[in-house]
Amino acid sequence: MAGNNPHPRANNITLGAVGILIGIALLAAMDAIAKWLVIDGIHALQILAVRSVIIVTALLALFAAKRNLRELHPTRPWIQAVRGITGIIAPLAFFVSLRYLPLTDAVVTFFTSAFAITIVSALVLKERVGIHRWSAVVVGYIGVFIAMSPSGTGNIAGYILVLISSVAYAGLFTSGRWLTETESVASLVFSYNAGTGLVACLLMPWFWNNMQASDWILLTVLSTLAVCGHFAMTYAFSVAEASSIAPFEYSALLWAIMFDYLLWGSQPMIATLVGAAIIVASALYVLRREKIHHQNNSRQ
């Protein structure tokens, strides 16, 4: 219900920036653990199934203890159900890609979600996108091809999976921003994880691998990071305009480089960094043009 979201139309940049920086740090740590597990032979679907069960159970217990289960109840259940069930594509494709790519390469390629959001807005929401933004999108994808240089350490299948993930994330982002006008942050996080968990659990019999105690511990930590990160990100975009705080998402690159170096002794290739610079610059230009576009519309 709309009353559950205290700032449905606010633009508190400070709160939004803090929220997104915290969220990015938590989710970057989650990605590092996911890569560790995938390399260790744990299937991405298995990770999502266990993660979702832990998150959904924890949320139910938490809000039951607070006697506020109503906070988890969606006001548009069918829309949230579809969002949750189809939302598995984004994390599944990304986690599978980590078997083929260094974390830094995966994160850099995932930055193209900014361009995917522009494309989805134009094709699905019929938003008017001018030549400036279309040009930035094209240049941004050129940056991806540079990052995918044959001299790099990644596999083409990994890059394709991340691009699929970025498009799926664009759909999640667009629908989430729209739904925050009537849905609480808690209900969005709960419904998304419930839908993702349902799909993953149904597919589990074909992908389950036995896990050691250390794997369960890592999955529990991963799940905790995931729910805290999703809360922080969802809250950030509910209190601030995307164009104001989205640039802070690129702090993920610093985390990815650090985790790659500390955990796997991997350093990014020059081509990856050049591609990243082009992608980030293009994405920031897209955000700037979007802000100008919305300002012009508000004056009309």
How long, in residues, is the chain? 300
Are the C-beta atoms of residues 158 and 100 closer than 8 Å to each other?
A: yes
Q: How confident is the model over 213-243, as pLDDT tens digits? A: 899 999 999 988 988 887 888 788 777 776 6
d(CA 241, CA 54): 31
Q: Work out the burial of residue 155: count CB atoms within 10 Å of its CB; fewer than 13 is exposed, 13-18 middle, 19 or more buried.
A: middle
Are the C-beta atoms of residues 186 and 3 closer than 8 Å to each other?
A: no
- pLDDT: which is higher, 283 or 216: 216
- pLDDT: which is higher, 12 or 136: 136
HEC profile of the chain: CHHHCCCCCCCCHHHHHHHHHHHHHHHHHHHHHHHHHHHCCCCHHHHHHHHHHHHHHHHHHHHHHCCCHHHHCCCCHHHHHHHHHHCCHHHHHHHHHCCCCCHHHHHHHHCCHHHHHHHHHHHCCCCCCCHHHHHHHHHHHHHHHHHCCCCCCCCHHHHHHHHHHHHHHHHHHHHHHHHCCCCCHHHHHHHHHHHHHHHHHHHHHHCCCCCCHHHHHHHHHHHHHHHHHHHHHHHHHHHCCHHHHHHHHHHHHHHHHHHHHHHHCCCCCHHHHHHHHHHHHHHHHHHHHHHHHHHHHHHC
Average pLDDT over residues 159-180: 81
Q: How confident is the model over 186-214, as pLDDT tens digits? A: 888 888 888 888 888 888 888 888 888 89
- pLDDT: which is higher, 143 or 292: 143
Band of residue 152 on the pLDDT scale cut at 50, 70, 90: low
- pLDDT: which is higher, 132 or 23: 23
Band of residue 175 on the pLDDT scale cut at 50, 70, 90: confident
Are the C-beta atoms of residues 208 and 46 closer than 8 Å to each other?
A: yes
pLDDT of 4 over the 50 cut: no
Q: Where are the domains of the chain?
A: 2-299
Average pLDDT over residues 21-49: 92
Helices 131-147, 103-110: crossing angle, 10 deg rounding: 170
d(CA 89, CA 172): 10
pLDDT of 151 over the 70 cut: no
Radius of gyration of the chain, Cα coordinates, nearest whole angstrom: 19
Which range (23-32, 72-81, 195-204, 272-281) has the least confidence? Answer: 72-81
Question: In this structure, how many other beta carbons lie within 10 angstroms of the beta carbon of residue 13?
Answer: 15
pLDDT score, position 287 = 72
Percent of the chain with pLDDT over 90: 14
Smallest CA-to-CA distance from 240 within 20, 4, 1, 3 is with 20
Are the C-beta atoms of residues 15 and 222 closer than 8 Å to each other?
A: no
Helices 185-203, 156-179: crossing angle, 10 deg rounding: 140
Q: Which residues contact 160 (CB under 8 A, 6 or more apart)?
A: none
- pLDDT: which is higher, 241 or 252: 252
pLDDT score, position 297 = 60
Compute the mean pLDDT over every residue in the chain, rounded to the nearest whole number: 81
d(CA 236, CA 241): 9
Smallest CA-to-CA distance from 241 within 185, 296, 287, 172 is with 287
Element at 255 (helix H, strand E): helix 252-264
pLDDT of 168 over the 50 cut: yes
pLDDT of 49 over the 80 cut: yes
